[in-house]
Chains A and B, each alone.
Chain A
Amino acid sequence: MVILRAMALLALGAAAGAAINATRPDRVSLGAYQAPVSCDQPAGGPVRVEVAAAATLCGASGVLVADARSAQEYAAGHIAGAVHLPCDAAARAATDALARGDLQTVLVYARSTEDALPVAASLYRRIHRPEVRVLVLEGGFAAWEHAGLACASGQCDHCTQPSQGTHP
C-alpha cells in the first residue's frame, strides 16, 4: 500500500509538471526537444589546416604539437617536437602544456584527418579557452612527410628515459 501511495505521489507530480509545462510560454518541447550541442560542435572548434599553413608553426612559441597515432608509428617518425598523446606520461606533459598561460596553438595530427578530429575536439573542450586555437593537420602525418618538412624519429621523450632524442 505504501508503494502505491508513493507511486501516486510521483504520478501526481508528473501530471502537475505536464500541466504546468503546457501552460507556460517557455515550455519544454517534449516531442521535438534538441539536447544542447555545446560539446558535439563547440563554437569555434578545431580548425583544419593544410600542411603549408601548419609548417609556419614550426619553432613558433606557444605551440603544442600532438601526435595521436600509435607508439610504433610515433617512433618511426613524427613531427619534430611533437608530444605523443596516447602515452600517459606524455598526456600528463600535454596537460601541463595545455594549462600554460602562453599556449596559443595546439596542432593535432594522426594517421588521417578523420582520426585526428575527435582527439582535437576533445582537447578543444578540455582547454576551454577561446584564445587557444586547436588545429587539425589535413592529410595527417603522411602529408607532412610528403611535403618534406621537419621530422624526427624515436620514442617519445616523455614516455621513456631520454636516451633517444630527436634528430633532423
Chain B
Amino acid sequence: MSGLVWVLRFALAAVLIFAGAVKLRDPTAFAGEIANYHLAEGLAPYLAVALPPIELILGLSLVLAPLAWRRAAALATFGLMAIFTIAVTQVVARGIDVSCGCFGGDSGPVTWWTVARDLVLVGIAAVLYAYETGLERRLAPRPPPPGSSAPR
C-alpha cells in the first residue's frame, strides 16, 4: 500500500512541478490563458504570478516535506485541483475556446478529457491526504493512560 501511495505521490508531484515550471516561463501568456477562461478575468494577472510557484512548492512538498507538511500539501493540492476542475468544466460546458477566449469554439485545447484528467488528479490528492492523515494519527504519541478515576 505504501509503495502505491509513493507512486501516486511522485506522479502528482511530477505533474505539479512540470505544470508550474512550464507556466513560469511565460507569465504574460499564462495570464492571457486565465483571462480566456472568462471566469475571473480581473484576477488573471495575480493568478498568473502566484499559481506557478504554488504548484512548484506543493509538488516539492509532496515528496520532500515532513509528514505534517506533506499532509498539508496534499490538502492544498486537493483544493487547487478541485478549483481547476470546476474552471475547466465551465469552459467546456460554455463552449469556450481558451486559445482565443472565444465562445462557440468548436474544439479548443480544453475538452472533456481535460476534465477527466483533472478529476483523476483530484482523486489522487484525496487519496494522499487520507493516507497521510491516517499515518499521522498512527504515529501520533499515545495519550497517557487514564489515572484512577472514581467509577460512577
Contact = CB atoms under 8 A, between A and B. Distances in A.
A38 B46 contact: no
A36 B72 contact: no
A38 B103 CA distance: 12
A9 interface: yes
B28 to A, nearest CB: 6
Given A26-B27, A30-B46, A126-B106, A39 B101 contact: yes
A16 interface: yes
B61 interface: yes
A21 B24 CA distance: 9
A20 interface: yes
A2 B24 CA distance: 27
A33 B43 CA distance: 10
Contacts of A28: 27-28, 31, 45, 48-49
Interface in B86-135: 100-106, 133
A17 B72 contact: no
Contact of A18 (B31, B44, B50): B50
A125 B48 CA distance: 25
Contact of B35 (A7, A13, A24, A36): A36
B49 A30 contact: yes
A164 interface: no
B75 A3 contact: yes
B50 A14 contact: yes
A12 interface: yes
Interface size class of chain A, counting residues whose CB lies under 8 Å from the partner chain = 20 to 34
Contacts of A72: none
Contacts, number: 104
Nearest to A13: B54
A78 to B, nearest CB: 23
Given A13-B54, A28-B48, A39 B100 contact: yes
Contact of B104 (A10, A13, A126): A126
A6 interface: yes
A1 B24 CA distance: 30
A13 B73 contact: no
Contact of B61 (A9, A16, A36): A9
B39 to A, nearest CB: 12
A35 B54 contact: no
Contact of B57 (A9, A27, A122): A9
Contacts of B13: none
A24 B53 CA distance: 14
Contacts of B85: none
Interface in B59-97: 61, 68-69, 71-73, 75-76, 79
5 contacts: A1-B68, A14-B50, A20-B24, A39-B36, A126-B104
Question: Nearest 4 A-B pairs (CB), nearest first?
Answer: A13-B54, A5-B72, A35-B35, A33-B45
